[in-house]
């Protein structure tokens, strides 16, 4: 750039004025790249506060639970002994979008965090279809406020222990507490409270319906006894909330609260690679743009690039630091690669991606961000070049064989296979066991039967499953049974209480 360079800051100390200045510049650039965001709320906090935020799943307010305390102690211990640095930022999917900046950060880091969180993540939250469908950024804070208050009231009325009993069980079932196909209604705290009261009354009146079918022995119905529920129910918490025979109203409400929170996190769990990749791509792009305009110094860029490259470092599989694929790396590489394919496609790209090769990169990137989740994003956009760059290979592990097999690597015959296995890896349906409510012995001893539909004949882990059944039993309060099913045949069974 031939213009004279006029950097916003030359010092590593930050001030509120400088943050504002950077924010203004970034907002201008974000606008140019059509990043549509919720309004930003940038909060400067201390490292202690960051630890607090860490241990309440990042939310600014949360009901109380011992497990958050455990998380806090863990974080504190690691941080104070220097095993771990704190994340530079936490960002919350809410409207306005809240981003935390740590006061210890340098000016460069604050600018990086602003670009990453307030423009990267923020636009992802607002744009991606999963977030648009499943979460309600406007009401989450309100809802948590309601939840916190409600839980506290219950603790006051029924004792901390009684509440924790239920909460422990709910937390264990959190992953089984989401609707995958139905969109929940957005609710504000006030409405939620109102509804809660209506609900309480309604449940009281109708709960016993399924039990009211007192065995009519005269009418012989042996032929076709309908199961209850008629179709298997995957949302276990929902089923228990509505149907567990002996739960008190307030206990049902607690189930609901945990269910709602789980639902809120559901999109995040499915878009980790995309979300981080998107934010990383944009902090990289926006800050380079600032540099090109002469708004930041070379020292700034060096510091930024240093931390950028440690964020996207991917240790190889045989490194002691290896703990799976780094979502930042994968996501960032893929978005960069999409841009490259659009701007400067090779023959290979034209063959693999005829639709996007040579198209407008910004358009394509926005399209990818809006309409995919990790699984489909990888399936759609992972290019041979990225596979080669990351040197991806796929390992096949079959219990029946004494060895592991490398079934595909980053070469012509392997690209498709690697891509498919990697995509499958991000499919929550494969990752987590598929467990559904199958039947209730309505006429008999009220035994609740769950079914585990086995995927690739993978078994359930025994100890945790036993624990889980105890939790379900605590909520259902009658016998609970879990069958592992493969090819319509029942394999291993778990019972709670265990049969003598």
By CB under 8 A, the residues from 429 to 458 that bind another protein are 431-433, 435, 454-458
- Say whether the peptide bond before residue 265 is cis (omega within 30 degrees of 0): no
Q: Which helix (H) or strand (E) holds 40?
A: strand 40-45
Closest by CA position to 178, among listed 255, 231, 244: 255
Phi and psi at residue 490, to the nearest 5°: -80, 125
> Is 495 among the residues that bind another protein (CB under 8 A)?
no
Nearer to another protein, 185 or 489 (CB): 489
> Is 118 among the residues that bind another protein (CB under 8 A)?
yes
Scanning 73-81, 276-284, 285-293, 294-302 for contacts with another protein by CB under 8 A, the matching segment is: 73-81
Nearer to another protein, 45 or 200 (CB): 45
Do 460 and 452 form a contact (C-beta atoms < 8 A)? Answer: yes
Q: What is the nearest approach in angstroms of another protein to the Cβ of residue 96? A: 7
- Read off the tokens for 147: 């939840």
Of residues 5, 12, 20, 211, which one binds another protein by CB under 8 A? 20
Q: In residues, how long is the chain? A: 500
Scanning 34-42, 227-235, 247-255, 280-288 for contacts with another protein by CB under 8 A, the matching segment is: 34-42
Q: How far apart are CA 377 and CA 374, in angstroms?
A: 5
Nearer to another protein, 109 or 356 (CB): 109
Kindly list the strands in the beta sheet with 480-486, ordered across the sheet, starting from the edge strand earlier in the chain: 434-440, 448-453, 480-486, 489-496
Of residues 217, 309, 323, 499, which one binds another protein by CB under 8 A? 323
> Is 121 among the residues that bind another protein (CB under 8 A)?
no
> Is 427 among the residues that bind another protein (CB under 8 A)?
no
Of residues 33, 72, 158, 367, which one binds another protein by CB under 8 A? 72
Nearer to another protein, 74 or 182 (CB): 74
Site for another protein in 161-220 (CB under 8 A): 164, 168, 171-172, 174-176
The torsion angle over the Cα atoms of residues 482, 485, 490 and 491, rounded to 10 degrees, is -80
The vertex-373 CA angle with 398 and 121, nearest 5°, equals 125
Question: Following DSSP, what letter does each residue of 216-266 receive, concatenated?
Answer: -SSS---S-PPPSSSS-BS-HHHHHHHH-TT--HHHHHHHHHHHHHHHHHH
Report strand pairing: 97-102 vs 40-45.
Answer: parallel
Of residues 76, 371, 376, 380, which one binds another protein by CB under 8 A? 76
> Is 318 among the residues that bind another protein (CB under 8 A)?
yes
Q: What is the nearest approach in angstroms of another protein to the Cβ of residue 43? A: 5
The torsion angle over the Cα atoms of residues 247, 253, 255 and 257, rounded to 10 degrees, is -170
How many residues at the interface with another protein, by CB under 8 A?
103
Q: 3-class DSSP state for residue 500?
A: coil
Q: How far apart are CA 455 and CA 212, in angstroms?
A: 37
Nearer to another protein, 371 or 380 (CB): 380
Closest by CA position to 113, among listed 282, 295, 301: 282
Q: How far apart are CA 86 and CA 128, in angstroms?
A: 27
Nearer to another protein, 230 or 412 (CB): 412
> Is 310 among the residues that bind another protein (CB under 8 A)?
no
> Is 367 among the residues that bind another protein (CB under 8 A)?
no
Scanning 35-43, 275-283, 294-302, 436-444 for contacts with another protein by CB under 8 A, the matching segment is: 35-43
Nearer to another protein, 144 or 207 (CB): 144
> Is 399 among the residues that bind another protein (CB under 8 A)?
yes
Of residues 34, 66, 156, 292, which one binds another protein by CB under 8 A? 66
């Amino acid at each position: 750039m031939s213009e004279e360079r006029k950097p916003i800051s030359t010092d590593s100390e930050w001030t509120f004025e400088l943050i504002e200045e950077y924010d203004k510049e970034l907002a201008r650039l974000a606008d140019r790249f059509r990043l549509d965001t919720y309004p930003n709320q940038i909060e400067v906090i201390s490292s202690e506060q960051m630890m607090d935020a860490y241990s309440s799943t990042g939310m600014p307010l949360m009901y109380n639970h011992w497990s958050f305390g455990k998380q806090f102690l863990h974080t504190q211990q690691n941080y104070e002994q220097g095993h771990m640095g704190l994340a530079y930022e936490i960002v919350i999917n809410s409207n306005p979008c809240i981003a935390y900046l740590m006061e210890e950060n340098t000016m460069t880091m604050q600018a990086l965090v602003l670009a990453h969180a307030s423009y990267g993540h923020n636009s992802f939250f607002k744009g991606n279809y999963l977030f648009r469908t499943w979460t309600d950024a406007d009401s989450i804070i309100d809802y948590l406020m309601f939840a916190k208050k409600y839980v506290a009231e219950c603790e006051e009325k029924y004792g901390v222990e009684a509440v924790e009993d239920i909460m422990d069980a709910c937390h264990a079932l959190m992953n089984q507490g989401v609707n995958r196909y139905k969109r929940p209604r957005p609710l504000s705290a006030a409405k939620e409270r109102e509804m809660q009261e209506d609900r309480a009354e309604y449940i009281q009146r109708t709960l016993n319906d399924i039990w009211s079918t007192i065995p009519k022995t005269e009418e012989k119905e042996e032929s076709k006894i309908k199961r209850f529920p008629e179709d298997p129910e995957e949302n276990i918490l929902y089923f228990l909330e509505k149907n567990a025979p002996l739960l008190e109203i307030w206990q049902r409400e607690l189930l609901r609260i945990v269910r709602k929170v789980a639902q809120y996190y559901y999109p995040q769990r499915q878009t980790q690679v995309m979300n981080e990749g998107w934010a990383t791509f944009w902090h990289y792009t926006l800050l380079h743009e600032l540099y090109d305009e002469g708004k930041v110094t070379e020292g700034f860029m060096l510091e930024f690039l240093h931390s950028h490259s440690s964020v996207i470092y991917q240790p190889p599989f045989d490194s002691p630091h290896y703990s799976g694929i780094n979502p930042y790396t994968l996501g960032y590489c893929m978005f960069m690669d999409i841009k490259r394919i659009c701007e400067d496609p090779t023959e290979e790209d034209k063959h693999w991606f005829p639709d996007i090769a040579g198209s407008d990169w910004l358009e394509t990137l926005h399209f990818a961000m809006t309409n995919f989740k990790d699984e489909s994003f990888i399936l759609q956009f992972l290019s041979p070049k990225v596979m080669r760059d990351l040197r991806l290979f796929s390992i096949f592990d079959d219990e029946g064989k004494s060895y592991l097999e490398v079934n595909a690597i980053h070469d012509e015959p392997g690209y498709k296979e690697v891509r498919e296995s990697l995509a499958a890896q991000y499919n929550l349906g494969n990752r987590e066991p598929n467990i559904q409510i199958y039947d209730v012995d309505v006429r008999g001893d009220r035994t609740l039967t769950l079914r585990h539909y086995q995927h690739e004949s993978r078994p359930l882990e025994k100890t945790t499953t036993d624990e889980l059944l105890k939790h379900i039993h605590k909520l259902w309060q009658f016998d609970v049974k879990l069958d592992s099913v493969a090819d319509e045949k029942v394999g291993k069974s778990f019972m709670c209480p265990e049969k003598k």
